[in-house]
Amino acid sequence: MFRSSRGGTAHSFALVLAFYLADSLVRRRERLKTLKGLVPYLVVLGVSIGILQLQHDFGSVIILCALTMLLLFLAGVRLAFFVLPMAALLPLLAYLVMSSSYRVKRIMAFLHPWDDPLGAGFQLIQSLIAVGSGGPLGVGLSNSSQKLFYLPAPHTDFIFAIIAEELGLWGTLGILALFALFAVRGLQVAAAAGRRNDGQFDALLAAGLTGLIVIQAFMNLGVVTGLLPTKGLPLPLVSYGGTSLVFTLACVGLLLNVSRRSKLHGMRA
């Protein structure tokens, strides 16, 4: 899922955190009724953020934060209790952004790409050109011009821009529909597991694995279309990648395993 150049650590934290949260939230469900019960999860998340920051992997930090909040919510933590974690996380994330010159540069390139069209804003501008050039039907499969030394990382982080150029609006809508279908089916697996007497762990794990893939996918799409600053995250199941692809397929395999045990029709391995 995450960029393969940093893949080992980021992949490990994502999967380990999903398993840890699913197991711990089931065992400590009663403690989640108090703010004190959230402290262990904030500590684990903080340690994970610290280690990932050593590799300057801010995109993975955002995903792990989103994963933690998602599973806490699904485990039954009251919405009022999210004020404390958010109050702690938002200043921390703001500090991590402002403390790094290259992140500030990315933010400024996101807000004002045309101020430096041949430098910091080049990648976003070329991505938007690719997306806009596709029109409704695209220029045809393999006929992209932006992938020929114009758009950086056309086979990894910005593959969606090339799809938009070659297959047009209808091709991009197809990609969006597939990820939406994946999200729906993943949550159906989680719901089916949750209906079993012993399936609470499986339910949270399925929801977490689905969230990892879908959150990263929509962050990537936001970057490519100029809705989010550049994060350096590939598009799951679409971008080229070694450890990225292996990790994503491992998540899908675990989801299928939960589905098989939950006997959800249509998603058995």
Residue 243, SS3 per DSSP: helix
Q: How confident is the model at residue 168 (pLDDT cuts 50, 70, 90)?
A: very high
Task: Pick the closest to residue 152 from 128, 123, 130, 131 (CA basis).
Answer: 123
Instruction: Say what the pTM is.
Output: 0.86
Mean residue pLDDT across the chain: 85
In tens, the pLDDT along 196-240 reads: 878 899 999 999 999 999 999 999 999 999 998 887 788 999 988
Q: How many domains does the chain have?
A: 1
Rounded distance between C-alpha atoms, residue 57 and residue 41, angstroms: 20
Residue 77, SS3 per DSSP: coil
Rounded distance between C-alpha atoms, residue 269 and residue 267, angstroms: 6
Task: Pick the closest to residue 144 from 157, 159, 123, 124 (CA basis).
Answer: 159
In-domain check, residue 269: no
What are the residues whose beta carbons fall under 8 Å from the beta carbon of 215, sequence distance 6 or more?
A: 63, 66, 67, 70
How close are the terminal C-alpha atoms of the chain, in Å? Answer: 21
pLDDT value at position 93?
A: 76
In-domain check, residue 62: yes
Number of helices and strands in the chain (H, E): 9, 0
User: If you search the block for the tokens 């989680």, which residue do you land on?
Assistant: 190
Q: At residue 11, does pLDDT exceed 80?
A: no
User: If you search the block for the tokens 């699904």, which residue do you land on?
Assistant: 74
pLDDT value at position 4?
A: 40
Q: At residue 154, does pLDDT exceed 80?
A: yes
In-domain check, residue 243: yes
Average pLDDT over residues 89-117: 80
Q: How confident is the model at residue 14 (pLDDT cuts 50, 70, 90)?
A: confident
Q: At residue 5, does pLDDT exceed 70?
A: no
Domain limits for position 93: 4-262
Average pLDDT over residues 148-173: 92
pLDDT value at position 3?
A: 46
